[in-house]
């Protein structure tokens, strides 16, 4: 008797099944795109600790009211001008040359009534409780943008045109940096010391105060 | 003479589709690997504000806090005021510390000290709610936070 060959399984519909699964996963996939503005909160403090003494001219006050209007150094301002105003303030370098606070890398106007040195300069943001979160983030974004602008400028000046602060930082974060990561982090730190991020947030005002 | 006669039936040979399943399977595996099934259903409207000076979030050490007004099908029950959601349930500001401690304990033990709190807040929320959250975070000493934002710029109307 002739041996009967086992019939071959028809694999023609395999592609259909695979397609079906593929489409299911295509539809359900949400490729995560979580990026944001990182911030470190100040640690908890006792109530009776006096605030550190700061010269008035070293503080840059940004207040946002309940209808999302900006008041910068007691002048009404559009959001688009905020970044430049913050850059001018931080980069001012108002201390005269020879004094211990003299800023040798500042390129600002050197206005004696504005900040002495970026190390001393503090940006203070005051929000109303009813300010929208959108505006809050927009203000934070512009201020971080001002710092990044200055840090990029310094990193290019000190370490050459290939070393842009924000790009290197992102590359290290994503593990894509080519070269010595430790050395690069050291350089980033050096730049952070030139322009330390000093963003203070006042307690938001309550209604009727 | 007949040597150069054109062959009969000069149709194109059919394309071999035998490797099609392989290609499709390859794509399938790619998507299966990158897919993250959502494990917490959002009960709030969550449209993120835009920002461009952003950094990437390290997922393995983060705790998410969502905030915003309840989405339409929860509004009869919870109203339209801004609410905080952690995991899959609403949390009050007074319960926030407990809920956050619980969420932190789900992380890998060696990363618990480096926890980053990711705030996913709807853009129409009042800043006051965010300030309350931040106060609670300071109490808990979880001071590293990240405001998750959508790519883009607020200045750009697009």
B68-124: per-residue pLDDT in tens? 888 888 888 888 888 888 877 788 888 888 888 888 888 888 887 788 888 889 888
Report whether pLDDT(A65) > 80.
Answer: yes
Distances (CA, A) of B64 to B26, B59, B113: 33, 10, 16
Subunit contact A140:B122, Cβ cutoff 8 A: no
Query: Tokens representing B8?
Result: 């009969």
B6/chain A closest Cα distance in angstroms? 35
Maximum distance among all alpha carbons in chain B?
99
With 0-12 / 13-18 / 19 or more C-beta atoms within 10 angstroms meaning exposed / middle / buried, residue B80 is exposed
- Residue B45 contacts by C-beta under 8 Å, 6 or more apart in sequence? B68, B69, B70, B71, B122, B124
Q: What is the pLDDT of residues A36-48, one digit of tens each?
A: 888 888 887 777 7
Distance of CA A111 to the CA centre of its chain: 26
Subunit contact B151:A31, Cβ cutoff 8 A: no
Write down the pTM of the prediction. 0.77
Test the B interface: residue of A137, A138, A148 with most B CBs within 10 Å: A137
Query: Tokens representing B13?
Result: 């040979």
Give CATH for domain B50-151. Answer: 3.30.420.270
- Confirm or reject contact between B118 and chain A (CB < 8 A): yes
Per the prediction, chain A carries an average pLDDT of 82
Cα(first)–Cα(last) distance of chain A, in Å?
103
Query: Tokens representing A200?
Result: 């203070």
Distance CA B146, CA B97 (A): 18
Provide the angle, in degrees to the nearest 10, between the axes of the packed helices B127-140 and A133-159.
60
Subunit contact B127:A19, Cβ cutoff 8 A: no
Subunit contact B126:A36, Cβ cutoff 8 A: no
For chain B, the domains span 50-151
């Amino acid at each position: 008797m002739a041996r009967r060959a086992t019939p071959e399984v028809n694999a023609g519909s395999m592609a259909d099944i695979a397609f079906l699964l593929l489409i299911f996963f295509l539809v359900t996939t949400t490729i995560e795109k979580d990026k944001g503005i990182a911030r470190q909160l100040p640690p908890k403090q006792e109530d009776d600790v006096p605030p550190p003494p700061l010269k008035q001219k070293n503080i840059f006050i940004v207040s946002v009211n309940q209808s999302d209007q900006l008041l910068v150094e007691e002048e009404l301002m559009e959001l688009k001008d905020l970044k430049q105003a913050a850059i001018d303030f931080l980069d001012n370098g108002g201390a005269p040359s020879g004094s211990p606070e003299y800023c040798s890398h500042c390129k600002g106007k050197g206005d004696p009534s504005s900040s002495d040195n970026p190390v001393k300069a503090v940006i203070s943001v005051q929000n109303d409780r009813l300010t929208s979160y959108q505006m809050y983030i927009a203000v934070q974004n512009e201020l971080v943008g001002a710092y990044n602008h200055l840090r990029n400028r310094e990193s290019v000046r000190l370490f050459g045109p290939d070393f842009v602060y924000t790009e290197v930082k992102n590359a290290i974060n994503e593990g894509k940096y080519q070269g010595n990561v430790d050395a690069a982090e050291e350089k980033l730190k050096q730049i952070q010391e030139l322009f330390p991020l000093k963003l203070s947030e006042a307690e938001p005002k309550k209604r009727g105060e | 003479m007949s040597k150069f006669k054109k062959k009969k039936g000069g149709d194109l040979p059919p394309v071999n589709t035998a490797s099609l399943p392989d290609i499709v399977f390859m794509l399938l595996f790619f998507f299966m690997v990158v897919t993250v099934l959502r494990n917490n259903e959002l009960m709030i409207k969550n449209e993120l504000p835009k920002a461009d000076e952003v950094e990437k979030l390290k997922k393995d050490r983060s705790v998410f806090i969502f905030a915003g007004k309840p989405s339409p099908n929860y509004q009869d029950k919870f109203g339209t005021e801004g609410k905080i959601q952690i995991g899959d349930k609403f949390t009050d500001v007074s319960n926030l510390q407990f809920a956050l401690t619980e969420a932190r304990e789900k992380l890998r033990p060696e990363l618990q000290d480096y926890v980053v709190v990711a705030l996913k807040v709807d853009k129409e929320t009042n800043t006051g709610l965010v300030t309350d959250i931040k106060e609670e975070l300071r109490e808990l000493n979880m001071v590293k936070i990240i405001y998750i934002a959508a790519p883009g710029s607020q200045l750009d109307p697009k």
